[in-house]
Chains A and B, each alone.
Chain A
Amino acid sequence: MKQLSTKVTSNGHGQDSSYFLGWEEYEKNPYDEIKNPDGIIQMGLAENQLCFDLIETWLAKNPDAAGLKKDGQSIFKELALFQDYHGLPEFKKALAEFMEEIRGNRVTFDPSKIVLAAGSTSANETLMFCLAEPGDAFLLPTPYYPGFDRDLKWRTGAEIVPIHCTSSNGFQITESALQQAYQQAQKLDLKVKGVLVTNPSNPLGTMLTRREINLLVDFISSKNIHLISDEIYSGTVFGFEQFVSVMDVLKDKNLENSEVSKRVHVVYSLSKDLGLPGFRVGAIYSNDEMVVSAATKMSSFGLVSSQTQYLLSALLSDKKFTSKYLDENQKRLKIRQKQLVSGLEAAGVTCLKSNAGLFCWVDMRHLLDTNTFEAELELWKKIVYEVKLNISPGSSCHCTEPGWFRVCFANMSEDTLDLAMKRLKEYVESTDSRRMISKSSHERIKSLRKRTVSNWVFRVSWTDRVPDER
């Protein structure tokens, strides 16, 4: 064991989390309408599969881009040799403009401040390497995307300290929660280097309010720390309210060229808005030229394939396409989310009111036997193995309250979503009737529950400073 690094021998990759275990179960028995109609339906994957037809139509109309040609001539050779870590200029320009369009052209993005990365996974890790020393901490509001435990901490040695958010106010970030988290970090002797938020939020599907972003900007300003705003779901906003980016707030507060603005960094990706996770297109946007410079050099470890850059520069430069796409994407997401919400309601299940993202934050607290994470995991196991739906338990997202689940809706057909809701309804109804029949069976179940769940419950990261010897 000594022959391998501690990164290998510990479980810092975070893949023992239930978030990933559910995926594994799905892989063993995946639903297919024809081949495996009783299989597990994947509702744990935040993918956007609703608008491929739009991209395919565009490809058919744009044979040059599709065929790696420019003015009818193959530029295959030039692309094959292009490995400049500054990226294809036309791609960064198109990406900057796309980001502006998503924000209603209210703010501008300078292409020279964009650093490309292999997906937002790589973008987030690279930012950590640039901003934090091993042992430094970033504050993150809970619940948060489980992948952050790997992306932000694993190879960087950085720590995450949670900002506790609760259902009492719709999981919004409060000043007292922020201060508490900061003090907790200090108690643990961790130097806080910044705050990282996902806006719109994964797993909540809500957008940060202007009040919250103002609070964050004021906070980092006073503490002289960084703010990373992961805005990879910015193009999935489908509600009536406008998406407010941290860039909007900086502009409104006249902080655009200030010292504070140099400590605000945006992470973006085309994996969610355009539904192209396989292409590995991520980006860091920073006003700090040292960060841009260092991150650019680091991008050597995960550049975007030039073949992909070329295709996407053509796609995103077509403003007719991008405007139509964003509009249509919004419409389809809204319809699909509504379908999920109504389906849940029919099963007597509510969710957090949301207007963005590819998922809903579902409240199943009333289905728990006890208000504990053990009960949440018991319920989750039933849903995966009996109801055959892979959804993500809130504990894997570090939620402080048991009973919440993230349920995705944009990665399946309408019919599959219908079926999923039917299954859930049947399960809830059967559970209700079972509950009514025998109250004492509850006691029996409790005593039968022998398996410890400590391996399943993903401990909040800062208590895990010593990796387990496995």
Chain B
Amino acid sequence: MVSLATEKKQDLNLLSRIASGDGHGENSSYFEGWKAYEENPFHPIDRPDGVIQMGLAENQLCGDLMRKWVIEHPEASICTEQGVNQFSDIAIFQDYHGLPEFRQAVAKFMEKTRNNRVKFDPDRIVMSGGATGAHETVAFCLANPGDGFLVPTPYYPGFDRDLRWRTGVNLVPVTCHSSDGFKITVEALEDAYEKALLSNIPVKGLLMTNPSNPLGTTLDRECLKSLVNFTNEKRIHLIADEIYAATTFGQSEFISVAEVIEEIEDCNRDLIHIVYSLSKDMGLPGFRVGIIYSYNDRVVQIARKMSSFGLVSSQTQRLIAKMLSDEDFVDEFIRESKLRLAARHKELTTGLDGLGIGWLKAEAGLFLWMDLRNLLKTATFDSETELWRVIVHQVKLNVSPGGSFHCHEPGWFRVCFANMDHKTMETALERIRVFTSQLEEETKPVAAAPMMAKKKKKCWQSNLRLSFSDKRRFDDGFFSPHSPVPPSPLVRAQT
């Protein structure tokens, strides 16, 4: 009779290390907030006290335009009366080159989102299962297990899974500091490169996201040139994740690496690759349209063969081909999307400004990089996590803590704003307002007794500890020292 413990051990041996380990990265706090949201999602009518999702970088602002177009163009679907004559041809189409009209339309769209300042060759477009699939495929093409990619911090937590999990590739952080607006400096790059070598990690490339997730900033021309020069000089690859290309608004301008390489003499283009997707710019994450665009012929060839593992559904290719070929629609969509992003961004930042909450100046992306460093008890990540748990479980906003993005410094949070309507944004801001005003009350020095002030702070702290496991609804006045704090079941148990 085998004991349960031994049985479990045997179980683990039956699966690969990849499957039984936690390289999928889902134990990260980034995902914990999502779970809290899923257990109690906000709804203005059904669940007004639910958690508002501000941890999901989705672009939901122009769904109406998209829906309208789809309704007005039934021929774009292979299932409607107008399009069904194409059904069988499309249904059997599994050529990993993809539908030519799809590639052409995507190339054109990529040009438009870069203000038509560069040309993209449809024959270099390779499909993948979303940008998630694209990144993994690029890693498989450019690196062997044990090799490393430099990645400027803070970076999208999904990279830990996408680039490393099944590929065995390492990520080497390039530390960017808040003191200079998180710029990527050559010094930081050199530093990271050296560290990698010392750790016996052969560096194969540099991956950067531009516009940045989570910062929302765009790289200027000089910086981009320096990245191209750095990688060229070291003869390593440069992978530019440009999935937020069309989300720039206001004064900011997006400059693609595609543009910059035209200006660099003797640029080794075999080292330049772009990852793209329609999930953010067009708000279509469900359709899994990922793109690898490489200037290296061999990489295009092999990535294309690998795309068999994540082709875009031909039904979707056809719809996208039709949609993106409608230039008037595309122009209107991009224009309108930028306007709405700008408006929603302004709403959030105006609200935060009014509350004295800082944020990194940026005009791209679907999120804000919020500065709550002054709310931390201590400048530690433990403190950041504690604050974050309060925000998720009590203020009921799922925001993403900077630590999960590998930020060098605690106290930063990514707050998404493009995945909600105006009313929800208002509610979120109100909750932040209440939270911060209560905090102010809590920490306001009371003239008479310093002891009292200390006690009050302690009150808040102990509430913190208790409330993490407290799943009760609570009223807006919870943090107010003036209203009685309802005893938590935990306290009752102790007495």
A contact residues vs B (CB 8 Å cutoff): 3-8, 13, 15, 47, 49, 52, 55-56, 59-60, 63, 65-68, 74, 76-77, 79-83, 118-119, 121-122, 125, 129-134, 136, 150-151, 155, 224, 226, 263, 271, 275-280, 288, 290-291, 294-295, 297-298, 300-308, 311
Contact = CB atoms under 8 A, between A and B. Distances in A.
A83 B290 CA distance: 13
B87 A55 contact: yes
A278 B308 CA distance: 11
B284 A280 contact: no
Contacts of B237: 3
Interface in B1-60: 10-11, 14-20, 24, 26, 58, 60
A48 to B, nearest CB: 9
B140 A7 contact: yes
Interface in B453-475: none
Contacts, number: 227
Given A3-B237, A298-B166, A276 B91 contact: yes
A271 B306 CA distance: 19
B79 A301 contact: no
Nearest to A271: B94
B313 A52 contact: no
A76 B305 contact: no
Contacts of A55: 87, 91
Contact of B88 (A4, A56, A65, A298): A56
B288 A59 contact: no
A-B pairs with the 7 shortest C-beta distances?
A278-B314, A306-B286, A66-B79, A302-B310, A294-B19, A305-B313, A77-B63
A278 B94 contact: yes
Contacts of B93: 277-278
Nearest to A278: B314
Contact of B19 (A68, A277, A290): A290
Interface centre among A59, A130, A150, A301 (most CB of B within 10 A): A301
B90 interface: yes
Contacts of A77: 60, 63-64, 66-67
A166 to B, nearest CB: 31
B130 interface: yes
Contact of B92 (A5, A65, A82, A277): A277
B329 interface: no
Contacts of A5: 140-144, 147
Contacts of B19: 129-131, 290-291, 294-295
Secondary structure class of chain A's binding surface, majority of residues? helix
B74 interface: yes
Given A134-B145, A300-B161, 5 more contacts: A3-B235, A7-B141, A66-B77, A66-B84, A303-B288
Interface in B377-394: none
Interface residues of B, number: 76
B309 A307 contact: no
Given A3-B270, A278-B91, A307-B313, A59 B58 contact: no
Nearest to B56: A81
B81 A301 contact: no
Nearest to A154: B306
Nearest to A118: B310
17 contacts: A5-B144, A7-B141, A7-B144, A49-B92, A68-B70, A77-B60, A81-B58, A122-B310, A129-B19, A224-B14, A275-B92, A278-B94, A290-B15, A294-B18, A302-B288, A305-B315, A308-B313
A122 B309 contact: yes
A50 B26 CA distance: 44
B319 interface: yes
B451 interface: no
B133 interface: yes
Contacts of B298: 4, 8
Contacts of B63: 76-77, 80-81
Contacts of B272: none
Contacts of B77: 66-68
A63 B82 CA distance: 11
Given A74-B67, A150-B308, A224-B14, A303 B130 contact: yes
A132 B16 contact: yes
B79 A67 contact: yes
Given A118-B129, A130-B18, A131-B14, A301 B309 contact: yes
B313 A80 contact: no
A128 to B, nearest CB: 8
Contacts of B74: 67
A56 B130 CA distance: 29
B71 to A, nearest CB: 6
Contacts of A122: 129, 308-310
Given A76-B70, A122-B309, A129-B16, A290 B79 contact: no
A123 to B, nearest CB: 10
Contact of B315 (A4, A263, A294, A307): A307
A466 to B, nearest CB: 15
A8 B166 contact: no
B15 A80 contact: no
B314 A279 contact: yes
Contacts of A129: 16, 18-19, 166
Interface string B266-282: 00001100000001000
B479 to A, nearest CB: 34
A132 B58 CA distance: 35
A6 B298 CA distance: 12
A23 to B, nearest CB: 10
B349 to A, nearest CB: 25
Given A56-B88, A83-B286, A150-B308, A63 B80 contact: yes
A80 B87 contact: no
A105 to B, nearest CB: 27
A226 B314 CA distance: 33
Given A305-B313, A308-B316, A56 B92 contact: no
B490 interface: no
A225 to B, nearest CB: 8
Contacts of A263: 14
Contact of B84 (A4, A56, A125): A56
Contacts of A306: 286-287
A290 B319 CA distance: 36
B77 to A, nearest CB: 7
Contacts of A4: 141-142, 296, 298-299, 302
A76 B286 CA distance: 10
Given A297-B26, A300-B132, A119 B311 contact: yes
A223 to B, nearest CB: 11
Contacts of B88: 49, 52, 56
B24 A297 contact: yes
B97 to A, nearest CB: 10
